[in-house]
């Protein structure tokens, strides 16, 4: 007897997702790839499927979860670590299983964080353009050493720990704030001390009710003048308007972002021929000491392979009714 294949609707599917997943799908799983993000409107595309596979900017609020439940979806396979975009109580209420990829490559994000810091401090993005035009003037390119600098890490989980290991190699003095984790890798301090002492502050905590806009006016006021702030975690950890004010007053010396609170309107697509309506984002781009990448911290070959393998393992465990080690609801 042959059983019907398990049908998965992929949302927010990019070319690289399609090529990575398609080559690894087992024979008894079929996939349909939708470029649209999952939301209240696109949810009807999931009709006739057994599961949906989603990414960071797909909307899985109560309305979408209920709509998925009504059309018989029983599994949400997130192909990312963060699940702040999922209404977990709503999923629990309709017994919908949500699985994720908790750690595909903490080093990928940690190394990207370091790339942002070094680019901003050594201004290699500016130097690249200058040399392309035979401009070898060094004025305006003065950087600073990481050696002996105090780096404050907020959230010392998998990515934070990978980041600290790299910084220890640079001879930086690393301090951290994490109410739920302890580590020998760096010195624990209060959030207030971290703000007061750090030359560089890196955010590696998840987005929760407690961490929403953790970097606000009050936090910025406590920081050293000229501090560098790096966010590779989730956009809404930062109150962007406060950061813009701090950049204008020169309190914030450098800002590096791989994530942005309103990124779902912009990131993961080519907007180069579009007019961008987001004035806050456009203002950020005007500062010479702001560096933004479009949520690419995870994007390495190693991390993509791990995302595919773990997502397919999660789906297989669900089908075989085996224990789900990566379940979040
Ligand atoms: P993790 O769960 O291993 O570590 C998070 C740490 O934050 C934990 O130690 C936790 O105790 C701590 N934490 C929780 N609340 C806190 C608070 N109020 N203040 C300080 N620390 C707090 O997670 P992991 O894998 O290290 O990922 C961290 C975040 O990175 C994810 O939540 C996700 O938002 C982001 N991320 C970004 C990626 C990108 O491509 N830019 C890719 C993957 C994850």
70 in catalytic set: no
Averaged pLDDT, 256-272 = 96
Q: Which residues contact 157 (CB under 8 A, 6 or more apart)?
A: 178, 181, 204, 205, 206
263, 265, 283, 302: the catalytic one is 263
Atom of ligand 1 nearest to the CA of 204: 28
What pLDDT score was predicted for residue 3? 74
Q: Is the pTM of this model over 0.85?
A: yes
Average pLDDT on 198-215 reads 98
CA dihedral 85, 90, 96, 100 (to 10 degrees): 20
Examine the pLDDT at 23 and tell me if it is beyond 60. yes
**Confidence check: pLDDT of 313 > 60:** yes
Residue whose CA is at the smallest distance from ligand 1 atom 15:
205
| 250: annotated active-site residue | no
pLDDT in tens, 27-49: 999 999 999 999 999 999 999 99
- What does the pLDDT average to over 77-82? 95
Which residue minimizes the CA distance to atom 35 of ligand 1?
233
pLDDT confidence band for 68 (50 / 70 / 90): very high
**78 contact partners, CB below 8 Å, separation of at least 6:** 53, 54, 55, 86, 98, 99, 100, 101, 328
Distance 156 CA to ligand 1 centre (A): 8
Instruction: Specify the pLDDT at position 292.
Output: 98
Residue 2 has pLDDT above 90, yes or no: no
Mean pLDDT calculated for residue range 90-114: 97
Q: Name every protein residue with a CB atom under 6 angstroms from any ligand 1 atom.
A: 81-82, 103, 106, 109, 154-160, 177-181, 204-208, 210-211, 232-234, 258-259, 295, 297-298
**Domains in the chain and their CATH numbers?**
6-104+301-319 (3.40.50.720), 106-292 (3.40.50.720)
CA distance 155 to 161: 9
In angstroms, what CA-CA distances link 229 with 33, 121, 171, 189, 276?
Answer: 36, 12, 19, 18, 25
User: Tens of pLDDT along 131-165?
Assistant: 999 999 999 999 999 999 999 999 999 999 999 99
Query: Cβ distance 79 to 303 under 8 Å?
Result: no
Taken as a whole, the chain contains a residue count of 329
Q: Which atom of ligand 1 is nearest to the CA of 233?
A: 35
Q: For the chain, what is the mean pLDDT?
A: 97
What angle do the packed helices 15-22 and 301-319 form, to 10 degrees? 60
């Amino acid at each position: 007897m042959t059983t019907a294949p398990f049908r998965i609707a992929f949302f927010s599917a990019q070319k690289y997702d399609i090529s990575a997943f398609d080559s690894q799908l087992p024979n008894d799983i079929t996939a349909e790839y939708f470029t649209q993000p999952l939301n209240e409107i696109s949810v009807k595309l999931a009709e006739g499927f057994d599961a949906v596979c989603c990414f960071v900017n797909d909307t899985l609020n109560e309305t979408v979860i209920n709509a998925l439940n009504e059309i018989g979806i029983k599994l949400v396979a997130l192909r990312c670590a963060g699940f702040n975009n999922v209404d977990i109580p709503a999923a629990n209420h309709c017994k919908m299983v949500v699985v994720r990829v908790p750690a595909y490559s903490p080093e990928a994000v940690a190394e990207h964080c370091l790339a942002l810091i070094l680019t901003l401090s050594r201004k290699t993005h500016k130097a690249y353009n200058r040399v392309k035009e035979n401009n070898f003037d060094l004025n305006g390119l003065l950087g600073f050493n990481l050696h002996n600098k105090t780096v404050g890490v907020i959230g010392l989980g998998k990515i934070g720990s990978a980041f600290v290991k790299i910084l220890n190699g640079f001879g930086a003095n690393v301090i951290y704030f994490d109410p739920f984790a302890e580590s020998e890798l760096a010195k624990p301090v209060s959030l207030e001390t971290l703000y007061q002492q750090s030359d560089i502050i890196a955010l590696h905590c998840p987005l929760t009710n407690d961490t929403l806009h953790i970097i606000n006016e009050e936090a910025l006021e406590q920081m050293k003048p000229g501090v560098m702030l790096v966010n590779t975690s989730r956009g809404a950890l930062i109150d962007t308007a406060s950061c813009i004010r701090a950049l204008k007053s020169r309190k914030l010396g450098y800002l590096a972002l791989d994530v942005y609170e309103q990124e779902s309107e912009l990131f993961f697509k080519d907007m180069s021929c579009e007019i961008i309506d987001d004035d806050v984002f456009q203002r950020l781009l005007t500062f010479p000491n702001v560096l933004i990448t479009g949520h690419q911290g995870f994007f390495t070959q190693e991390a993509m392979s791990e995302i595919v393998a773990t997502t397919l393992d999660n789906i297989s465990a669900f089908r075989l009714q085996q224990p789900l080690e990566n379940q979040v609801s």
